[in-house]
Amino acid sequence: MGDTLRLAVGVMGNAASLLLFSSPILTFYQVIRKKSTEEFSCVPYTIALLNCLLYTWYGLPIVSYRWENFPVVTINGLGILFEFSFILIYFWFTSANGKMKVAITVIPVILVFCITTAISAFAFHDHRHRKIFVGSVALVASAAMYGSPLVVVKQVIKTKSVEYMPFYLSFFSFLASSLWMAYGLLSHDLFLACPNLVGSPLGILQLVLYCKYRKRGIMEEPDKWDLENNEEKSKQLQLMVNDVTNDKSQNYVKE
């Protein structure tokens, strides 16, 4: 019963994480359409890439015992593809200064992952010590991933706008962290449960801020979606055009 429940929570965690990893697609669609990254930061996606790399390695039989953490491998392996794609898009459309910042953050991520895999594979010779080492590094990376939106949270509080904090990203972050926390507790694996003890409260904080400042964003641009006002303005403009046309016609007849 315990293993079945753990597997069920792992499957739900995979589904929630898939939605979390795919939620920035709309954001990057706007980046591609506008051909600009505007004020979006690449740091959360870079840290998420490190987190996915480390936890994919953590779940493989080299570190974990056989395939006990198979759900961790599948979703984080998919997460690597998502995050790497987002970083490439960001790198393509950002400024020269932005490209430099991306390189400065991505290169250390790759180095940290390579060093971690090398040490765990060759310096340790049993699963227990490998899990402790890789799990400790992944714990730090995961806490940083869940903490990285604090930069956006600060901007939201400062500008009183949720433009750069998408709702679905915050919601799925909370949902995924809550499910993986449950999975880690059911597995008696603190390296899976502990990071999500940080992620769940931060997800709640983002949702609270979104609810608080969401209406401000709507009030700032009332004319954009006010069809009645737009229709009235369109009628007034049409009347002005007709008046000008009539005046010109009368002048032409007089001549």
pLDDT of residue 219: 45
Task: Answer yes or no: is pLDDT of 147 > 80.
Answer: no
Q: Are 171 and 20 in contact (CB under 8 A)?
A: no
pLDDT given at position 146: 72
DSSP state of 165: S
Comparison of pLDDT for 212 and 99, the residue scoring more: 99
| pLDDT of 238 | 58
pLDDT tens per residue, range 218-248: 444 444 434 444 555 455 555 555 655 555 4
Residues 6+ apart with CB under 8 A from 80: 49, 52, 53, 56
Which of 50-59, 121-130, 208-217 is least confident?
Answer: 208-217
Mean pLDDT rounded to a whole number for the chain? 80
pLDDT at 6: 83
Give the pLDDT score at 70: 87
Compute the chain's Rg from CA coordinates.
25
d(CA 190, CA 99): 37
pLDDT value at residue 252:
44
Amino acid at 100: M
pLDDT reported for residue 236: 57
Whether 149 shows a pLDDT value over 60: the answer reads yes
More confident residue, 167 or 25: 25
In this structure, of 8-12, 115-119, 208-212, the range with the lowest mean pLDDT score is 208-212
Q: For 56-109, what is each residue's pLDDT tens digit?
A: 999 999 998 888 888 899 999 999 999 999 999 999 998 888 899 899 999 999
In whole angstroms, give the CA distance from residue 195 to residue 143.
Answer: 5
Mean pLDDT for the stretch of residues 176-182:
88
pLDDT of residue 76: 92
Instruction: Output the pLDDT for position 220.
Output: 45
Long-range pairs of 65-72 with CB within 8 A, sequence gap ≥ 24: 65/127, 68/187, 69/187, 69/189, 69/192, 71/7, 71/10, 71/11, 71/13, 71/14, 71/183, 72/10, 72/192
Report the percentage of the chain scoring pLDDT > 70. Answer: 80
Using the predicted structure, report yes or no on whether residue 140 has a pLDDT greater than 80: yes
